[in-house]
Amino acid sequence: MSGPGPSDARGGHAGAEWFASPGQSTPGEAGLRFSCTQCGNCCSGPPGYVLISTSDAAAMSARLGLTTDEFERRYTRRLREGWSLNEVEGAHGFDCVFLDRNTHPGRAVCSIYDVRPAQCRTWPFWPSNLKSPESWARAGRVCPGINKGPLYTPVQIRVQRDAFNI
């Protein structure tokens, strides 16, 4: 199994990244705000994928007390892009197999949050969401936590952005 690598996308030229300019999320401050609301929107919707790396699979299988082979058989599928977690069709569309909508009424939580894949850990700071203010706003129409909560500095955003390419 091989997973995604570090991103080459930068969402702009170094030193000219739109999110590094003051006032993008809060007047006078550089960076962006985000706080997860546990709505499940990033884990659900139309059919898609959650790409996982070999190390992601190892961590998740250990957490679940499974061999990596058993984990892959039960919870993943092979795509052109790499290995992906399975989805379960439900009332909200296609949920990640690890999205739990029952344990905490009114919330959607990841049942493997402590070992969730890099794609999940880096949301919403993906290169595709950081290309422009318009891309960020588009992601914000799906994610109610965008532009709310703590301020992430440009350095923190770059670290997240560069950890996963999507």
Residue-wise pLDDT tens digits, 35-52: 999 999 999 989 999 999
* Amino acid 15: pLDDT: 45
Answer for the pair 19, 136: CB distance below 8 angstroms, yes or no.
Answer: yes
> Is pLDDT above 90 for 12?
no
Q: What is the pLDDT of residues 135-154, one digit of tens each?
A: 999 999 999 999 999 999 99
Q: Where are the beta strands (DSSP E) in 48-140?
A: 51-52, 76-79, 82-85, 87-90, 93-96, 99-100, 109-110
> Is pLDDT above 60 for 71?
yes
> Is pLDDT above 50 for 14?
no
SS3 87: strand
Q: Which residue, 83, 77, 28, 81, is CA-closest to 52?
A: 83
Answer for the pair 115, 63: CB distance below 8 angstroms, yes or no.
Answer: yes
Q: Which whole-number Å values give the CA distances from 32 to 19, 29, 71, in the listed order? A: 7, 9, 36
